Amino acid sequence: MTTPVLELKGVSKSFYGQKVLSDVTFSISPGEVFGYIGPNGAGKSTTLKILAGLITQYDGSVTIAGTDVKREPARAHALIGFMPQACGFQNWRTVESALDSLGDLSGVPADTRKRRIAELLERFKLADARTKKVKDLSGGMTQKLGLIQALLHEPRLLVLDEPLEGLDPPSRQLLKDVIRERSNAGTTVLFSSHILSDVENVADRVGILNQGQVESTGSIRDLTRMFDLPTEIDVDFSSPPGDTSFLAAAGKAVERKPGEWRVTLAGKPAPDAVDEVIHALVERTLAGGGRLRKIAVTEPGLDDLFAHYINRSEHGARHGQ
């Protein structure tokens, strides 16, 4: 088995006697993109600060490519590129000089710094802002600067705390593209978000953190299957057929308003099964002398799944790994 790039084992942390992380355990394989998802206050930033060596008092162990973060902090630090949730730069510096001084601190040689800073500013569409003062940047630009800073020394593991927060849609897409590019080039990426759909099409695997506990890990498809939310079909008749009992044969049928029904299919039906239900609804309506105005299928989206999941765990039910 290959050594995981990141491994957390039984990590627990309390602040002033209050437990913020309990027994957090997960690992990430080389080249993987891992989405660390949880509602505000779940403990995401605390976890990432532990990885980055900014919090040193905790129980359990964290290793980066086999290097224990507590025992060999400098060595572990060199392997990681970290973008904190709130990036602090020296405000009076220009974009270029702020990045240059941070690259210097990370031990990147001067000529490499020069080349890489120019490349990354270009990639993030910030080349025009390179002589601007950091204090004059917008929130989104500062965010991108944080990301460039994390990428400067070409780390083995890139750790980003809510990198999509506060970015406009084109910048979000750009960032997702960069994450994918880095991953294709062999970098392992861990990024956090409080929105599950943020990681769609980017993360290979997701870990869900809730109230300091990792409740489940898996691909988005695994999680979707596990959450198992029902599919709903809304059927509106402009004139109802003589007999509507066939609706109840498809699932739980409720007449929400006269002539407007909602049929809830149990569990997660296969796509073919949904087609068949629609087909039967149309046929039976016409056969019964009715007319349809609308049929709409609502399949639960990722954010519905997430909301449902968080609610369910707040009511006591917990899932296994």
Ligand X SMILES: Nc1ncnc2c1ncn2[C@@H]1O[C@H](COP(=O)(O)OP(=O)(O)O)[C@@H](O)[C@H]1O
Interface residues with ligand X (CB under 6 A) are 15, 20, 38, 40-46
Nearest-approach distance from CB 51 to ligand X, in angstroms: 12
With CB under 5 A, what is the number of residues at the site for Mg ion?
3
142 binds Mg ion (CB under 5 A): no
Shorter beta-carbon distance to ligand X: residue 49 or 116: 49
Q: What's the closest the beta carbon of residue 273 comes to Mg ion, in angstroms?
A: 40
CB atoms within 10 A of CB 174: 17
CB of 160 to Mg ion, least distance (A): 11
Which residues make beta-bridge pairs with 133? 94
CB of 182 to ligand X, least distance (A): 22
Residue 41 interacts with which of Mg ion, ligand X, none, CB < 5 to 8 Å by class: ligand X
- How would you class 26 by CB atoms within 10 Å of its CB: exposed for 0-12, middle for 13-18, buried for 19 or more? buried
How many angstroms from the chain centroid is the CA of residue 3? 24
Please identify, using beta-carbon distances, which residue of 43 and 207 lies nearer to ligand X. 43
The residue (of 15 and 92) whose beta carbon lies closer to ligand X is 15
Q: Of the listed pieces 3-11, 13-21, 25-33, 78-86, which binds Mg ion according to CB under 5 A?
A: 78-86
Between 20 and 141, CB nearer to ligand X: 20
CA dihedral 247, 253, 254, 260 (to 10 degrees): -40
What are the distances in angstroms from CA 35 to CA 5, 106, 159, 164, 184?
A: 15, 25, 10, 12, 16
CB of 230 to ligand X, least distance (A): 29
The β-bridge partners of 218 are: 206
Nearer to Mg ion, 44 or 176 (CB): 44
Which single residue brings its beta carbon nearest to Mg ion?
45
| 114-139 residues labelled b (16+ CB within 10 A) or e (exposed) | eebbeebbebbebeebeeeebeebee
**Toward ligand X, which CB reaches closer, 46 or 231?**
46
Torsions phi, psi of 65, nearest 5? 45, 45
Tokens of 169: 């849609």
Give the binding range for Mg ion (CB under 5 A) out of 83-91, 165-173, 205-213, 232-240: 83-91
Instruction: Give the one residue of 8, 13, 42, 45 binding Mg ion; rule: CB under 5 A.
Output: 45
250 within 8 A of 269, measured Cβ to Cβ: no
Instruction: Kindly list the residues in this chain that would bind Mg ion in the complex (CB under 5 A).
Output: 44-45, 85
